[in-house]
């Protein structure tokens, strides 16, 4: 039957937000002014029904008559200078399709065989063909996943013959042939390829393509964490593997709250009332570099499933996002071949995180954005999630022999194939073309239904083990679940999005919204009923056997038969060499500001690493679930950024959870040890500033690094040393983590761009009384304001101030961790005693930025005095972590409160809306709060058109 077309658009008198947004991008990103209007229409194609049925669906399902109009099988926009339709390529997941099919059936339209949706863009103006092509290629059509529709398709159903299982003649390959096989899709080194060849020589046969792909996925850097497990020789000294050091430091801390560390999809700690909370932070750098919207969406969806797959299953209560980009105003000539512009990346990544979290009803309420020129080849996209569960369900489950292997959630397609291996290799000028199949598009509504069903299954004790189908799909999920017992999978039972997939593609697909379960046979019917009740597809695809083997079948033929011991333990041991690099930049100090203080202060506040990120935060629903006690912004103006998020995830209870993080890639480029200590101290400082008890906090590490050559590996080794030293000094353990070690770009001419090394330290814990927490905004006029914490103001390397003055120093802020522990303990006790009115930690921008942000929230000014023997600019702009600006009540003695730690009375708040700085009895300068506020808000408003 013919394909019916429905077009829907807003009434002419209403705004077209999608069209207006694109017009903004055209004018700001491309500087094209000849296009003066853009209108959009949604296009739906429906196969298998009549035109009358299409009209019925258009009226009852696809449009809203109050503010929209529609047409069936005819144009709806007829006066445009040019009309362009953009759709996903065939085979790319379109999240709307399943909803359309289900809703049509619910409305009684049962003949709908297939559906699709796209957007039509109408351009008005006197633009040239070249200008329109710029809009299409740089803004509108990501050729990785999208295409321009030139003619109406005759059919929508994707049909194809199942691909055959090929035999790979690896036993007869020489070294050159082995590496040719590995290049572009396996990403294994020669020693690893030889080990695979030797295994198959021993069992006297050649592997199938499915077996080769399974080994590549399991042994990938992304899944196998090979660098972190390698033996190291650092500057000639033998050291323990990085992962072992982190695990041993956590074990030595013996933290009483830790229930599960480095064992499951997330780390778990005890909460209150026999509950537990868990946290996981992940990266999605490589997919986001290719298709930022889909990459960011599936990053969020994947880390949510990590929480859903922890223990016997947890409810997701919070989402976080931390991004690193090149400056959004980077000129096109500086963007490497095969890479997207950072401004486009930035906006699309934010949109992806927004849409997934908002649609699932998960608050995104903590995050940060960082900028550095060397992220221009590859961004860093970090997403985190936190959950709650019964403590009794917190331990990782294990399948039993005879358990049924179940796949629940979305169907399987070509989405994400080679995602794990692709994310383990360097990015090159060819990446966009070679690895386009590694990109996926998420479906948040599917995952919401899945989450609801699994929580009921958990509460009814139907699940022995659960994990998500993340990197590597079925291969990773069932391969890991069955590692100690063995599993048999029948691939032809797996529900597919369309026909034509080869068995190995079904096995390795990373299609989203899927979870793998181990369920006792007697509980299978009840599980399937729960899934039906929630409109979640669930299919028994195999069983756990007790054979110790991974056996995969398709159509009665065995396409994979691997010994679990070889699959998981056969990876050759690796010894890696790390060598220290030398700093090549000569020290250079800035000139003293003298008479241009207001200019310098404004430049600090509008620096991309300091400025307000409110236009990003406001598109996230941080209030959904009704649990957000301390929002991202606070104060009488609602403009003061808080340091952490505090949630009350159990309604009616006074206890809550705290979430924070810290990172500073700029410092890591200069001194990875000091920069990593800074990141950990910043994470904890953010939590403690909001009222958290330092004794009830735990940490998560995320290392996002260039490809580990000798110099980058040395930096990584120093960062891990910093983490273990921090644990030893504070007693706060790392209980979960992730490494992503492929952020190097290699161009066709051999030139290399490495990202700044990124260590993101996330921090979470419990708070026994949410009413005792603290926000950052100043509360009282003439309030006493103190600087608390130890710092050496000469340590200015990596600071915002040195950046705006084109200065350099190798002396970055190094936190005294022992003193830091005393400081946060004293600050927390002061909060318990009710002495702290407001608190804000010092980070990028230094003391001046912290004071300004507190004034923004309190709608007041401040007058401070700099001790006469200090260089004033260093005093104001030093960025030592672990230091705090604290407003105290009038009735307390700071000598008693901060005994044993460093503190200084800075001054007092004022009704006059100025920031006044005095030194040696003289006014050094005065700058209006309004000026600082406007410059602080300006950059992101320009980026997002707010």
Whole-Å CA distances, 242 to 245, 361, 679, 739, 754: 5, 37, 18, 11, 21
The residue written with tokens 């260590």 in the block is: 759
Q: Is 248 annotated as a binding residue?
A: no
Cα–Cα dist 422/223, whole Å? 11
The pLDDT, as a whole number, for residue 440 is 66
Indicate if the pLDDT at residue 416 is higher than 80.
Answer: no
| Collapsed DSSP state (helix, strand, coil) of residue 837 | strand
Residues 70 and 184 in one domain: no
Q: Which of 547, 571, 595 represents a domain boundary (last residue)?
A: 571
Nearest residue to 364 via CA among 374, 353, 372: 353
The pLDDT, as a whole number, for residue 142 is 79
The pLDDT, as a whole number, for residue 430 is 42
Residues 6+ apart with CB under 8 A from 39: 9, 16, 19, 77, 80, 121, 122, 124
Mean pLDDT of 753-760: 96
**297-306, 432-441, 595-604, 881-890: which has the minimum mean pLDDT?**
432-441
Cα–Cα dist 342/739, whole Å? 23
Give the pLDDT confidence of 539-592 residue by residue, as tens digits. Answer: 999 999 999 999 999 999 999 999 999 999 999 999 999 999 887 889 999 999
Both structure tokens of 760: 């993101």
Task: Return mean pLDDT, the chain.
Answer: 93
Nearest residue to 323 via CA among 357, 283, 279, 363: 283
Residues 6+ apart with CB under 8 A from 151: none
Cα–Cα dist 255/696, whole Å? 9
Q: Is 512 annotated as a binding residue?
A: yes
pLDDT band at 408 (very low <50, low <70, confident <90, very high): very high
Indicate if the pLDDT at residue 423 is higher than 70.
Answer: no
Cα–Cα dist 604/691, whole Å? 28
Indicate if the pLDDT at residue 202 is higher than 50.
Answer: yes
Residues 6+ apart with CB under 8 A from 314: 266, 276, 278, 307, 308, 387, 388, 389, 393
Cα–Cα dist 188/169, whole Å? 17
The rounded radius of gyration (Å) of the Cα atoms in the chain is 28
The pLDDT, as a whole number, for residue 183 is 83
Residues 489 and 543 in one domain: yes
Highest mean pLDDT among 499-503, 509-513, 869-873: 869-873
Direct distance between the N- and C-terminal alpha carbons of the chain, in angstroms, rounded to an integer: 46
Mean pLDDT of 446-474: 95
pLDDT band at 435 (very low <50, low <70, confident <90, very high): very low
Give the pLDDT confidence of 378-401 residue by residue, as tens digits. Answer: 999 999 999 999 999 999 999 999
**157-171, 184-198, 245-259: which has the minimum mean pLDDT?**
157-171
Give the pLDDT confidence of 331-374 residue by residue, as tens digits. Answer: 888 989 888 889 889 998 999 999 999 999 999 999 999 999 99
Cα–Cα dist 737/228, whole Å? 11
Q: Is 737 annotated as a binding residue?
A: yes
The pLDDT, as a whole number, for residue 439 is 61
For residue 766, the Cα-to-chain-centroid distance in whole angstroms is: 23
Residues 126 and 208 in one domain: no
* Residues 129 and 79 sit within 8 Å (Cβ to Cβ): no
Cα–Cα dist 946/942, whole Å? 7
Range of 550's domain?
172-225+397-571
pLDDT band at 418 (very low <50, low <70, confident <90, very high): low
Cα–Cα dist 536/328, whole Å? 41
Q: Is 374 annotated as a binding residue?
A: no
612 in a domain, yes or no? no
* Residues 815 and 881 sit within 8 Å (Cβ to Cβ): yes
Judge if pTM exceeds 0.85.
yes
436 in a domain, yes or no? yes
Cα–Cα dist 275/492, whole Å? 40
Q: Is 492 annotated as a binding residue?
A: no
Give the pLDDT confidence of 150-181 residue by residue, as tens digits. Answer: 988 888 877 777 788 999 999 999 999 999 99
Q: Is 352 annotated as a binding residue?
A: no
885 in a domain, yes or no? no
Both structure tokens of 419: 């995602």
Q: Is 446 annotated as a binding residue?
A: no
Out of 225, 255, 284, 661, the active site residue is 284
Residues 6+ apart with CB under 8 A from 69: 8, 9, 10, 11, 63, 76
What's the CATH code of the domain at 431? 3.90.650.10
Residues 526 and 435 in one domain: yes
Residues 108 and 208 in one domain: no
Q: Which of 542, 571, 600 represents a domain boundary (last residue)?
A: 571
Both structure tokens of 382: 């970090």
Please report how many Cα atoms fall inside a 13 Å half-sphere around the Cα of residue 918, on the Cβ side.
Answer: 11
495 burial class (0-12, 13-18, 19+ CB within 10 angstroms)?
Answer: middle
Nearest residue to 684 via CA among 719, 660, 655, 667: 660
Indicate if the pLDDT at residue 288 is higher than 90.
Answer: no
127 in a domain, yes or no? yes
The pLDDT, as a whole number, for residue 693 is 97
Q: Is 306 annotated as a binding residue?
A: yes
Both structure tokens of 920: 């040696």
Highest mean pLDDT among 9-18, 180-189, 679-688: 679-688
Residues 115 and 14 in one domain: yes
Residues 461 and 531 in one domain: yes
Cα–Cα dist 730/744, whole Å? 34
The pLDDT, as a whole number, for residue 946 is 67
Mean pLDDT of 230-245: 94
Give the pLDDT confidence of 82-140 residue by residue, as tens digits. Answer: 999 999 888 777 878 888 998 999 999 999 999 999 999 999 999 999 999 999 988 88
Q: Is 511 annotated as a binding residue?
A: yes
* Residues 839 and 776 sit within 8 Å (Cβ to Cβ): yes
Angle at CA of residue 125, ends 124 and 131, nearest 5° = 100
Q: How many CB atoms lie within 10 A of CB 595?
A: 7
* Residues 702 and 565 sit within 8 Å (Cβ to Cβ): no
Q: How many CB atoms lie within 10 A of CB 651?
A: 8
What's the CATH code of the domain at 133? 3.30.1280.10
**Catalytic residue flag (residue 781):** no
Rounded to 5 degrees, what are φ and ψ at 369?
-130, 135
Q: What share of the chain is helix, strand, coil (3-state, %, to 5)?
A: 35, 25, 40
* Residues 553 and 559 sit within 8 Å (Cβ to Cβ): yes
pLDDT band at 434 (very low <50, low <70, confident <90, very high): very low
201 in a domain, yes or no? yes
Residues 6+ apart with CB under 8 A from 777: 634, 635, 636, 637, 640, 838, 854, 856, 857, 858
SS (H, E, C) 177-216: HHHHHHCCCCCCCHHHHHHHHHHHHHCCCCCEHHHHHHHH
Give the pLDDT confidence of 914-946 residue by residue, as tens digits. Answer: 999 999 999 999 999 999 999 999 999 999 886
Residues 6+ apart with CB under 8 A from 204: none
Indicate if the pLDDT at residue 184 is higher than 80.
Answer: no
Give the pLDDT confidence of 476-495 residue by residue, as tens digits. Answer: 999 999 999 999 999 999 99
The pLDDT, as a whole number, for residue 86 is 96
Residues 51 and 179 in one domain: no
Angle at CA of residue 544, ends 541 and 549, nearest 5° = 105
Out of 222, 341, 608, 908, the active site residue is 222
According to DSSP, the residues that pair with 384 across neighbouring strands are: 281, 320
368 in a domain, yes or no? no
482 in a domain, yes or no? yes
Residue 62 DSSP label: I
Residues 421 and 458 in one domain: yes
Residue 522 DSSP label: G
The pLDDT, as a whole number, for residue 465 is 97
Domain count, the chain: 2
Burial 496-511 (b: 16+ CB within 10 A, else e): bbbeebbbbbbbbbbb
Indicate if the pLDDT at residue 420 is higher than 80.
Answer: no
62 in a domain, yes or no? yes
**Catalytic residue flag (residue 341):** no
Residues 122 and 192 in one domain: no
Residues 143 and 182 in one domain: no
| Collapsed DSSP state (helix, strand, coil) of residue 900 | coil
Q: Is 580 annotated as a binding residue?
A: no
For the four alpha carbons of 180, 181, 184 and 190, in that order, the dihedral sign comes to: negative
Contacts made by residues 53-59, CB under 8 angstroms, sequence distance 24+: 53/4, 53/109, 53/111, 53/112, 54/4, 54/5, 54/6, 56/107, 56/109, 57/6, 57/104, 57/107, 57/109, 58/6, 58/8
Give the pLDDT confidence of 789-821 residue by residue, as tens digits. Answer: 999 999 999 999 999 999 999 999 999 999 999
Residues 449 and 531 in one domain: yes
Q: Which of 532, 548, 571 represents a domain boundary (last residue)?
A: 571
* Residues 3 and 154 sit within 8 Å (Cβ to Cβ): yes
């Amino acid at each position: 039957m013919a394909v019916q077309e429905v077009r829907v658009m807003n009434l002419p008198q209403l705004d077209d937000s999608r069209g207006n947004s694109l017009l903004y991008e055209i004018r700001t990103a491309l500087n094209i002014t000849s296009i003066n209007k853009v209108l959009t229409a949604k296009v739906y194609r429906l196969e298998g029904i009549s035109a009358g049925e299409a009209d019925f669906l258009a009226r009852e399902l696809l449009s809203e008559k109050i503010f929209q109009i529609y047409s069936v099988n005819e144009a709806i926009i007829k006066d445009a200078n040019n009309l362009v339709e953009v759709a996903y390529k065939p085979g790319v997941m379109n999240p709307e399709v399943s909803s359309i099919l289900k809703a049509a059936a619910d409305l009684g339209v049962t003949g709908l065989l297939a559906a699709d949706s796209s957007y039509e863009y109408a351009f008005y103006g006197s633009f040239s063909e070249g200008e329109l092509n710029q809009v299409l290629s740089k803004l509108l059509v990501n050729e990785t996943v999208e295409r321009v529709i030139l003619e109406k398709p005759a059919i929508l159903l994707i049909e194809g013959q199942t691909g055959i299982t090929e035999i790979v003649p690896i036993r007869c390959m020489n070294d050159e042939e082995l590496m040719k096989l590995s290049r572009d899709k396996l990403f294994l080194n020669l020693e690893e390829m030889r080990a695979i060849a030797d295994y198959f020589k021993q069992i006297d046969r050649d592997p199938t393509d499915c077996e080769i792909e399974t080994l590549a996925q399991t042994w990938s850097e992304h899944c196998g964490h090979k660098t972190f497990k390698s033996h190291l020789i650092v500057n000639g000294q033998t050291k323990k593997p990085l992962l072992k050091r982190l695990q041993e430091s956590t074990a030595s801390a013996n933290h009483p709250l830790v229930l599960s560390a480095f064992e499951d999809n997330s780390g778990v700690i005890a909460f209150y009332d026999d509950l537990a909370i868990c946290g996981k932070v992940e990266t999605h750098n490589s997919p986001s570099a290719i298709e930022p919207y889909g990459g960011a969406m599936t990053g969020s969806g994947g880390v949510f499933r990590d929480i859903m797959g922890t223990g016997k299953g947890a409810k997701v209560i919070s989402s976080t996002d931390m991004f690193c980009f090149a400056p959004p105003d980077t000129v096109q000539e500086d963007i490497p071949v095969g890479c997207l512009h950072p401004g486009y990346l930035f906006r699309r990544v934010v949109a992806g995180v927004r849409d997934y979290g908002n649609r699932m009803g998960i608050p995104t309420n903590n995050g940060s954005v960082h900028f550095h020129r060397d992220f221009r080849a590859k961004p860093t996209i970090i997403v985190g999630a936190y959950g709650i569960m019964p403590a009794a369900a917190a331990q990782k489950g294990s399948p039993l022999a005879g358990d049924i292997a179940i796949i629940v959630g979305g169907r399987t397609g070509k989405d994400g194939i080679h995602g794990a291996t692709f994310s383990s290799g360097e990015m090159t000028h060819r990446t966009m073309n070679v690895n386009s199949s590694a990109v996926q598009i998420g479906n948040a509504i599917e995952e919401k239904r899945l989450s609801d069903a699994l929580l009921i299954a958990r509460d009814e004790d139907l699940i022995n083990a659960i994990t998500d189908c993340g990197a590597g799909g079925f291969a990773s999920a069932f391969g890991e679940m069955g590692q100690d017992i063995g599993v048999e999978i029948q691939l032809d039972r797996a529900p597919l999005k369309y026909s034509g997939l080869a068995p190995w593609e079904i096995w390795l697909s990373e299609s989203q919204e899927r979870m793998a379960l181990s369920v006792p046979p007697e509980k299978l019917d009840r599980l399937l009923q729960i899934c039906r009740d929630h409109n979640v597809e669930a299919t028994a695809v195999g069983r756990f056997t007790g054979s110790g083997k991974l056996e995969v079948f398709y159509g009665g033929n065995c396409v994979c038969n691997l010994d679990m011991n070889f699959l998981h333990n056969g990876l050759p041991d690796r010894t890696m060499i790390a060598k220290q690099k030398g700093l090549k930049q000569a020290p250079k100090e800035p000139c003293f500001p003298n008479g241009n203080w207001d200019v310098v202060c404004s430049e600090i506040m509008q620096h991309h690493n300091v400025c307000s990120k409110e236009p990003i935060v406001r598109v996230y629903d941080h209030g959904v679930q009704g649990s957000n006690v301390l929002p991202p912004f606070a104060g009488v103006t609602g403009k003061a950024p808080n340091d952490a998020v505090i949630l009350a995830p159990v309604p009616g209870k006074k206890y809550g959870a705290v979430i924070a993080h810290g990172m500073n890639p700029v410092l890591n480029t200069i001194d990875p040890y000091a920069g990593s200590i800074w990141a950990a101290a910043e994470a904890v400082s953010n939590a403690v500033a909001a009222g958290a008890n330092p004794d009830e906090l735990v940490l998560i590490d995320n290392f996002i690094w260039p490809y580990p050559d000798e110099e980058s590996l040395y930096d990584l080794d120093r960062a891990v040393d910093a983490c273990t030293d921090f644990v030893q000094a504070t007693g706060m353990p790392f209980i979960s983590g992730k490494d992503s070690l492929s952020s190097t770009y290699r161009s066709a001419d051999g030139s290399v761009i490495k990202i700044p090394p990124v260590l993101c330290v996330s921090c979470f814990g419990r708070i026994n009384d949410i009413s005792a927490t603290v926000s950052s905004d100043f509360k009282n006029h003439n309030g006493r304001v103190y600087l608390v914490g130890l710092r050496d103001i000469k340590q200015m390397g990596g600071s915002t101030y040195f950046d705006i003055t084109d200065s350099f120093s190798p002396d970055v802020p190094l936190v005294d961790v022992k003193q830091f522990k005393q400081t946060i303990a004293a600050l927390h006790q002061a909060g318990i005693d009710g002495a702290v009115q407001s608190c804000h930690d010092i980070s990028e921008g230094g003391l001046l930025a912290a004071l300004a942000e507190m004034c923004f929230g309190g709608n007041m000014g401040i007058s401070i005095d700099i001790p006469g023997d200090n260089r004033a600019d260093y005093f104001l702009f030093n960025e030592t972590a672990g230091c705090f600006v604290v407003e105290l009540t009038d009735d307390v003695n700071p000598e008693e409160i901060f005994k044993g730690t460093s503190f200084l009375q800075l001054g007092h708040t004022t009704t006059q809306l100025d920031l006044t700085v005095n030194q040696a009895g003289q006014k050094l300068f005065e700058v209006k709060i309004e000026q600082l506020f406007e410059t602080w808000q300006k950059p992101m408003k320009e980026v997002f058109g707010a």
